[in-house]
């Protein structure tokens, strides 16, 4: 009798152990929904791994975490990302970038003609919508959503290769200021890439989620997104598990490019002082620009850097090019900050506007989130932390914050989140963005 009981007991224990061990050693389910950040200049894809509870930003074959948002057409192929950029110099008029600026928008007559003049490719007007004119072995027009679809397809393939499984579902982020039509056309781009969009979330909401702010007790979240060419500031309000965009403001002519430009101007003046002539050759300016860009990045980590650039300068009138002269300059972080004082200061105007329009005092902002590569600049971080009298959330790479948040939302939509509140957004139809520039 007791033997029987103990035998049943052993069986139950064995079954229990088998189940337990099975659970322990079963490979965690593969993510089925990807998170997409379709950016103006760079795009990224990420997934949420339910097993580890971590977000993986998916790298391409070369280990790069984002692809340039560029698509290039040849008579033989359509290339997206780095491959398109490699081709850009030889195929300028058929290499399209910045398509996000045009997606789903209706333009007033004349505006697209002006836009077209800014680009090496042709932007045409199709009844108010932008299209790009491509001339390979024949001439045809493509839409901004088609360009988007090629980037999304590339990222879908990157994810499928990494995960070893077909992917058909996605969550995608869009700028907070995108209206319903722009959101719809972004969804259409995904559709063309064979992806069903389960949810569209705004970029500042994604950034807040990347920091886990959908799970903690916060009310007002301010997101500062400073990229290469634009500044976007959003005030979010969390109510229950939902984020509501309370106010938006920005400056679409302020970003990293402008800070680099100031440093470039400074080095040009130094060259003039030292050699008596300004750098005018295209290649010289190109080299200086690259050196300045690299110096700017290094100055976020180091108090000073040395710029060293070989220049050909047209000092002599000879037809054969003279031997290069080496130009050296030491640039300190302090100098870089001084050259940009007024530009850095401009960041605060839209911050003040969103607080005013959102009827929130700066003391009532619970968390500040920084997004975009230019928020790595130490002086900018200091400016913002001094203004709010608190440290901003900066533990993530500011260029990966949006894709990280979108991937978390994708994990929630995929059902792999361990039953936590999902942050959803309340649509903000009436909201207008204030622009300083
Ligand atoms: C011309 O374009 C078509 C379609 O884009 C392509 O199939 C064909 O191979 C091209 N021809 C040449 C000669 O490149
Ligand atoms: C052009 O656009 C207007 C409104 O944007 C629309 O009513 C009209 O049907 C369009 N025409 C064509 C030919 O697509
Ligand atoms: C966006 O798409 C939805 C659903 O397909 C549709 O009901 C709505 O009219 C569209 N809105 C615009 C502005 O295109
Ligand atoms: C150099 O070239 C400029 C115009 O390109 C000319 O005006 C000038 O006289 C030349 N100087 C000499 C020394 O040849
Ligand atoms: C950033 O966000 C987290 C919430 O996940 C919060 O606990 C933390 O205090 C925030 N601030 C900083 C400076 O990291």
C-beta of 393 in contact with ligand 5 (< 6 A): yes
Residue 322: the pLDDT is 65
The residue whose CA is least distant from atom 6 of ligand 3 is 184
| Domain assignment of residue 21, yes or no | no
Same domain, 178 and 88: yes
Same domain, 211 and 157: yes
The residue whose CA is least distant from atom 13 of ligand 2 is 127
Structure-block tokens of residue 246: 């309370």
The residue whose CA is least distant from atom 12 of ligand 1 is 75
| Domain assignment of residue 377, yes or no | no
Residue 73: the pLDDT is 97
| Domain assignment of residue 198, yes or no | yes
pLDDT band at 293 (very low <50, low <70, confident <90, very high): very high
pLDDT band at 156 (very low <50, low <70, confident <90, very high): very high
**CB 85 within 8 Å of CB 69:** no
Reported pTM: 0.84
CA of 76 to the centre of ligand 1 (A): 6
Give the Cβ contact number of residue 345 at 10 Å.
10
Taking the CA of residue 137 as reference, the ligand 1 atom at the shortest distance is 1
- The span from the CA of 170 to the CA of 58, in Å, is 14
Same domain, 43 and 156: yes
Kindly state the average pLDDT of the residues 121-142. 96
Same domain, 131 and 244: yes
CA of 180 to the centre of ligand 3 (A): 7
pLDDT band at 6 (very low <50, low <70, confident <90, very high): low
Taking the CA of residue 391 as reference, the ligand 5 atom at the shortest distance is 13
The residue whose CA is least distant from atom 7 of ligand 1 is 76
* Ligand of minimum distance to the alpha carbon of 188: 3
The residue whose CA is least distant from atom 14 of ligand 5 is 393
Question: Could you tell which of 107, 127, 185 is best to mutate to test the pocket of ligand 2, judged by most ligand atoms within 8 Å of the CB?
Answer: 127
Catalytic positions, written as ranges? 37, 100, 203, 225
* Ligand of minimum distance to the alpha carbon of 316: 4
Which residues neighbour 304 within 8 Å (Cβ) at sequence distance 6 or greater? Answer: 330, 331, 332, 333
Kindly state the average pLDDT of the residues 232-237. 95
Same domain, 228 and 319: no
CA of 136 to the centre of ligand 1 (A): 8
326, 342, 358 — which closes off a domain?
342
| Domain assignment of residue 272, yes or no | yes
Taking the CA of residue 185 as reference, the ligand 3 atom at the shortest distance is 14
Give the Cα-Cα-Cα angle 104, 202, 173 (nearest 5 degrees). 70
CA of 240 to the centre of ligand 3 (A): 27
Strand pairing category for 129-135 and 139-142: antiparallel
Kindly state the average pLDDT of the residues 239-264. 92
Kindly state the average pLDDT of the residues 244-258. 93
| Domain assignment of residue 39, yes or no | yes
CA of 304 to the centre of ligand 1 (A): 53
**CB 198 within 8 Å of CB 413:** yes
pLDDT of 419 higher than 90 = no
342, 368, 385 — which closes off a domain?
342
pLDDT band at 205 (very low <50, low <70, confident <90, very high): very high
Residue 81: the pLDDT is 96
Give the Cβ contact number of residue 82 at 10 Å.
17
* Domain at 49, CATH number: 3.30.420.40
Q: When comparing pLDDT for 330 and 15, which is higher?
A: 330
Taking CB atoms and a 6 Å cutoff, what residues make up the pocket around ligand 2?
106, 127-128
Mean pLDDT score of the chain: 89
Q: 196 in helix, strand or coil?
A: strand
Residue 421: the pLDDT is 46
pLDDT of 1 higher than 50 = no
pLDDT of 51 higher than 90 = no
Taking the CA of residue 394 as reference, the ligand 5 atom at the shortest distance is 14
Residue 436: the pLDDT is 79
pLDDT of 321 higher than 90 = no
Same domain, 302 and 412: no
Q: Count of domains in the chain?
A: 2
* Ligand of minimum distance to the alpha carbon of 315: 4
CA atoms within 13 A on the CB side of 140: 9
- Maximum CA pair distance of the chain? 111
pLDDT of 312 higher than 90 = no
Same domain, 425 and 278: no
Q: 43 in helix, strand or coil?
A: strand
Kindly state the average pLDDT of the residues 52-79. 94
Same domain, 109 and 126: yes
CA of 319 to the centre of ligand 4 (A): 11
Residue 17: the pLDDT is 47
Same domain, 204 and 272: no
323, 342, 361 — which closes off a domain?
342
The residue whose CA is least distant from atom 7 of ligand 2 is 127
* Domain at 297, CATH number: 3.90.640.10
Kindly state the average pLDDT of the residues 383-395. 94
Kindly state the average pLDDT of the residues 152-169. 96
Kindly state the average pLDDT of the residues 392-421. 84
**CB 142 within 8 Å of CB 123:** no
Kindly state the average pLDDT of the residues 235-256. 91
Give Cα 397 distance to the centre of its chain.
Answer: 11
Same domain, 75 and 93: yes
| Domain assignment of residue 359, yes or no | no
pLDDT of 425 higher than 80 = no
Nearest to 197 by CA among 46, 36, 56: 36
- The span from the CA of 238 to the CA of 233, in Å, is 16
Question: Could you tell which of 104, 128, 184 is best to mutate to test the pocket of ligand 3, judged by most ligand atoms within 8 Å of the CB?
Answer: 184
Same domain, 240 and 133: yes
Kindly state the average pLDDT of the residues 216-242. 91
Owning domain of residue 74:
33-251+394-436
The residue whose CA is least distant from atom 14 of ligand 3 is 181
Least confident of 169-178, 302-311, 416-425: 416-425
Residue 276: the pLDDT is 86
C-beta of 389 in contact with ligand 1 (< 6 A): no
Residues of the chain above pLDDT 90, percent: 73
Nearest to 335 by CA among 266, 390, 249: 266
| Domain assignment of residue 16, yes or no | no
Same domain, 195 and 131: yes
Question: Could you tell which of 367, 396, 404, 405 is best to mutate to test the pocket of ligand 5, judged by most ligand atoms within 8 Å of the CB?
Answer: 367
Nearest to 94 by CA among 77, 73, 108: 73
Taking the CA of residue 215 as reference, the ligand 5 atom at the shortest distance is 5
pLDDT band at 390 (very low <50, low <70, confident <90, very high): very high
- The span from the CA of 81 to the CA of 148, in Å, is 11
| Domain assignment of residue 115, yes or no | yes
């Amino acid at each position: 009798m007791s033997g029987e009981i103990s035998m049943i007991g052993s069986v139950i224990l064995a079954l229990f152990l088998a189940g337990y061990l099975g659970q322990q050693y079963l490979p965690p389910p593969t993510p089925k929904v990807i998170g997409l950040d379709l950016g103006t200049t760079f795009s990224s894809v990420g997934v949420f791994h339910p097993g580890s509870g971590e977000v993986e930003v998916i790298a391409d074959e070369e280990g790069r975490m984002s692809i340039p948002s560029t698509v290039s057409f040849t008579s033989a192929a359509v290339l997206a990302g780095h491959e398109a950029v490699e081709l850009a110099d030889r195929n300028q008029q058929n290499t399209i970038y910045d398509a996000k600026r045009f997606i789903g928008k209706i333009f007033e007559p004349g505006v697209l003609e002006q836009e077209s003049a800014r680009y090496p490719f042709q932007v045409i007007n199709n009844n108010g919508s932008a299209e790009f004119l491509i001339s390979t072995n024949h001439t045809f027009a493509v839409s901004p959503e088609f360009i988007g679809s090629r980037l999304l397809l590339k990222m879908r393939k990157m994810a499928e290769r990494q995960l070893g499984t077909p992917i058909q579902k996605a969550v995608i982020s869009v700028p907070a200021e995108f209206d319903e039509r722009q959101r719809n056309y972004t969804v259409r781009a995904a559709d063309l890439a064979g992806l069903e969009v389960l949810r569209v979330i705004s970029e500042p909401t994604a950034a807040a989620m990347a920091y886990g702010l959908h799970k903690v007790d916060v009310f007002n979240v301010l997101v500062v997104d400073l990229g290469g060419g634009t500044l976007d500031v959003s005030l979010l309000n969390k109510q229950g598990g939902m984020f509501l965009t309370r106010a938006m403001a920005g400056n679409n002519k302020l970003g990293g490019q402008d800070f680099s430009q100031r440093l470039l101007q400074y080095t040009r003046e130094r060259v003039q002082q030292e050699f008596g002539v300004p750098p005018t050759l295209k290649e010289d300016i190109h080299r200086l620009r690259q050196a300045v860009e690299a110096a700017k990045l290094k100055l976020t980590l180091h108090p000073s850097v040395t710029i060293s650039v070989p220049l050909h300068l047209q000092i002599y009138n000879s037809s054969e090019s003279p031997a290069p002269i080496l130009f050296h300059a030491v640039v300190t972080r302090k100098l870089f900050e001084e050259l940009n004082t007024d530009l850095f200061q401009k960041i605060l105007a839209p911050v003040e506007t969103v607080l005013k329009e959102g009827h929130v005092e700066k003391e009532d902002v619970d968390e500040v989130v920084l997004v975009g590569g230019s928020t790595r600049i130490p002086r900018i971080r200091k400016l913002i932390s001094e203004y709010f009298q608190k440290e901003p959330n900066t533990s993530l790479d500011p260029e990966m914050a949006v894709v990280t948040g979108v991937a978390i939302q994708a994990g929630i939509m995929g059902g792999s989140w361990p039953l936590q509140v999902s942050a959803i957004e309340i649509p903000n139809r009436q909201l207008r963005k204030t622009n300083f520039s």
